[in-house]
Amino acid sequence: MDDLYESLEHDYRLAGFQAATETIEDDFIRVTLSDDMFVPMADHHSADGRDSYFLFYDRAAIWDVPGQAEFVTLHIARDTEQRTFAFEVERAPVVPLAQNWLIRQGCPPEATLATRNHGPRPADALTSRLEDQLRTNPDGRYEVLDDFTDNPCTFDFGVETRTLVYDHHPDSASAPYRLFLEETDKYFQTYTVREGTFATAEAADDWAMTRATPLPLAPTPDASSTHRAQAARARSTAKPPAPLAVPPSAVGTPRTPPPAAARTRGGAR
């Protein structure tokens, strides 16, 4: 296997390294084939040179299957003695879940914060609090079941992202299905996040399809639960890595994207 990675636009720091297997090589080529559409938001490289972590916004997601998650996270692990590498990749519908995945892979939490390509900002304190919950996901509270990104690719409407999770917290036993609704305004200046509560996944899906009633919002946590969430955020540690997940090649009918500046939704969250 030849060294194929020195000329890529993004600095994956793989000069002098080869993929550990031919399968890894093929998968890496597939994942990075259209990486000229990846907008870098954050990256981190360990001091020993063994690990690199990346958070990207994928401008090409709008040409994929409808509802495709638009954020890509990548963890490259190097064997510095054998001069080989392996990697894991994951898509996420919203930035906090992308950051959570990187943290579980071993990235320092502070290094997941977006430092480039500033985009829309949280519109209020509730948005920031809910994003913190998703980012830290204390004790594996939230299990992501499904997501859908509705991006009309026009300045007439903003982007809406729905993420359905199962909430394992005992206080949510009566309505464990939570729909996190992120809405970016059409000017891409601000966004809001709200958490809806449902007794079943079907009820959450019915609400999303009909919008016949206002979103049944989750109750505001009391001071003690807020303190516990802050403590969980402070003690965030790495967990065992998730299995390799390689997204399929882009399919579907291409749609013309608006200018790149409008497409960078993540911002410095």
Residues 181 and 204: beta-carbon distance below 8 Å: no
Overall average pLDDT of the 194-212 stretch: 97
Question: Final residue of a domain: which of 83, 118, 153?
Answer: 118
Using alpha carbons, select from 187, 181, 222, 186 the residue that is nearest to residue 204: 181
Among 154-158, 171-175, 235-239, name the most confident range: 171-175
Find out whether 62 and 151 touch, Cβ atoms under 8 Å.
yes
Compute CA 181 distance to the chain's CA centroid, rounded to the nearest angstrom: 14
pLDDT per position as a tens digit, 35-45 = 999 999 999 99
Whether 154 and 114 map to the same domain: the answer is: no
> Do residue 149 and residue 204 come from a single domain?
yes
Higher confidence at residue 99 or residue 221?
A: 99
Helix (H) or strand (E) holding 145: strand 142-150
In a domain, 152, yes or no: yes
Does some domain include residue 267? no
Asked whether residue 133 falls in the same domain as residue 182, the answer is: yes
Residue 233, Cβ density class (10 Å: 0-12 exposed, 13-18 middle, ≥19 buried): middle
Q: Are residues 6 and 30 in the same domain?
A: yes
Question: Are 128 and 158 in the same domain?
Answer: yes
Which domain, by its residues, includes 137? Answer: 119-236
Report CA-CA distances (Å) from 23 to 90, 156, 248, 256: 17, 43, 15, 33
For residues 95 and 197, membership in a common domain is answered with: no
**Model pTM greater than 0.85?**
no
With respect to residue 260, please indicate whether it lies within any of the assigned structural domains.
no
Would 264 be classed as within a structural domain? no
**The pLDDT of residue 215 is above 90:** yes
pLDDT of residue 258 exceeding 50: no
Mean pLDDT, range 222-231, rounded to an integer = 48
Q: Are residues 136 and 202 in the same domain?
A: yes
Q: Are residues 52 and 131 in the same domain?
A: no
Q: What mean pLDDT do residues 232-248 have?
A: 36
Q: At what angle do helices 125-136 and 223-234 cross, to 10 degrees?
A: 50
Q: How far is CA 40 from CA 43, 162, 262, in A?
A: 8, 23, 15
Q: Domains in the chain: how many in total?
A: 2
Whether 88 contacts 75, CB under 8 Å:
yes
- Answer yes or no: do 101 and 193 share one domain: no
Asked whether residue 27 falls in the same domain as residue 87, the answer is: yes
* Stronger pLDDT, 167 or 269, i.e. the higher one: 167
- Cα atoms found within 13 Å of the Cα of residue 99, Cβ hemisphere only: 26
- Domain check: are 37 and 89 in the same one? yes
Top-confidence residue, 190 or 222? 190
- Give the C-alpha distances (Å, rounded to integers) separating 47 from 8, 44, 51, 52, 219: 22, 9, 8, 10, 43
In a domain, 157, yes or no: yes
Same domain, 141 and 218: yes
Reported as a single tens digit per residue, the pLDDT across 14-73 is: 999 999 999 999 999 999 999 999 999 999 999 999 999 999 999 999 999 999 999 999
Q: Is pLDDT larger for residue 5 or for residue 149?
A: 149
Q: Which of 94, 118, 142 is a domain's end point?
A: 118
Q: Residue 92: CB partners within 8 Å, gap ≥ 6?
A: 69, 71, 72, 73, 98, 101
Among the candidates 118, 136, 159, a domain finishes at 118
Judge whether 104 lies within some domain.
yes
Alpha-carbon distance values, 181 to 38, 82, 263 (Å): 24, 45, 19
Quick check: is 62 in a domain? yes
Asked whether residue 244 is domain-assigned, the answer is no
Cα separation, 130 vs 24, in Å, equals: 36
